[in-house]
Amino acid sequence: MIDFDEELKNFKPSMELSEAEDAIRDKDLTDMIDILKEITDSQSTVIRQSAEAAAAKNKR
């Protein structure tokens, strides 16, 4: 039978895995929150520009 505690004591992660983890942590990855922020910011800009154009049109 496998002694999992003993196996865990002997476990040594490969250098490749450690290097990959560091590279992933150090990289600035775009996630869904960043994408949603960009979408809402661009939509806010469009709405603001439309409101300004409507206000300018009404002043005429």
pLDDT at 37: 93
pLDDT at 39: 94
pLDDT tens-digit series, residues 9-48: 999 877 788 788 887 777 777 788 889 999 999 999 999 9
Amino acid at 4: F
pLDDT at 1: 87
pLDDT at 25: 79
Q: What number of H helices and E strands is found in the chain?
A: 3, 0
**Torsion, CA 26, CA 32, CA 34, CA 37, rounded to 10:** -170
pLDDT at 3: 92
Q: Where exactly are the structural domains of the chain?
A: 4-59
pLDDT at 12: 84
Longest distance between any two alpha carbons in the chain, whole Å: 87
